[in-house]
């Protein structure tokens, strides 16, 4: 019905000087660019049709990370514990941009301290696709301080993905 009377004045068509709004929703189903157009036929003898080009997925996909507890240093989580105590931090991975983010794997990087553990029970089976409108992936990293804390216990999480900006994102995790 709104196409018959787009300006809502009670008569079919668009009155002289009339305006209307049209909302276009785009849901990408693939990682390549999509193009289309909206075509309006008119009764104006000088402009028989109006074409409006549409395009999507031209902005590369990207990955965003937030840490709890937050850190002064980007992509670094510090977990501070007394000897024998276990503390945990929460990491959230989100998609941004127009392209879906395909995450191939989230894991502790080989060589990370055994005092650091990663709970992947809330994560999907990989590879998995995440879009900017979906809820992000959240997971927990824990640090159990040895009975005698001698030094820092370094490690890192690795997020392998199809982002054009950071396809192997490292999140440094340090137990102190």
Residues 171 and 158: their CA atoms lie apart, in Å, by 6
Across the strands, what pairs with 66? 92
The residue with greater pLDDT, 165 or 84, is: 84
Q: Is the pLDDT of residue 9 over 90?
A: no
pLDDT for position 144: 92
The CA distance from 176 to 45, in Å, is: 76
List, as one string, the DSSP characters of 109-160.
PTT--TTEEEE-TTSPSSSEEE-TTSPPEEEEEEEE--SS--S-EEEEEEEE
**Which of 35, 34, 32 shows the shortest CA–CA distance to 52?**
35
Instruction: Specify the pLDDT at position 61.
Output: 64
The whole-number pLDDT of residue 91 equals: 93
Tell me what the pLDDT averaged over the chain comes to: 84
Contact 69, 89 (CB under 8 A): yes
pLDDT digits (tens, 9 = 90+) for 97-147: 767 888 899 999 999 999 999 898 888 999 888 888 888 899 999 999 988
Tell whether the model's pLDDT for residue 57 goes beyond 70. Answer: no
- At residue 87 the predicted structure's pLDDT band, cuts being 50, 70 and 90, is very high
């Amino acid at each position: 019905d709104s196409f018959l009377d787009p300006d809502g004045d009670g008569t079919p068509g668009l009155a002289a000087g009339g305006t209307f709004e049209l909302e276009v929703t785009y849901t990408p189903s693939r990682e390549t660019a999509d193009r289309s157009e909206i075509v309006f036929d008119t009764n104006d003898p000088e402009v028989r049709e109006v074409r409006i080009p549409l395009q999507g997925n031209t902005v590369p996909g990207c990955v965003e990370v937030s840490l709890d507890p937050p850190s002064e240093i980007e992509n670094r989580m510090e977990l501070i514990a007394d000897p024998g105590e276990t503390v945990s931090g929460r990491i959230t991975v989100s998609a941004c941009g127009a392209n879906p983010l395909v995450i191939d794997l989230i894991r502790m990087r080989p060589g990370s301290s055994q005092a650091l553990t990663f709970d992947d029970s809330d994560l999907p089976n990989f590879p998995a696709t995440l879009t900017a409108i979906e809820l992000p992936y959240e997971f927990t990293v824990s640090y159990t301080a040895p009975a005698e804390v001698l030094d820092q216990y370094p490690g890192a999480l690795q997020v392998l993905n199809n982002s054009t900006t950071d396809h192997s994102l490292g999140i440094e995790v340090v137990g102190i």
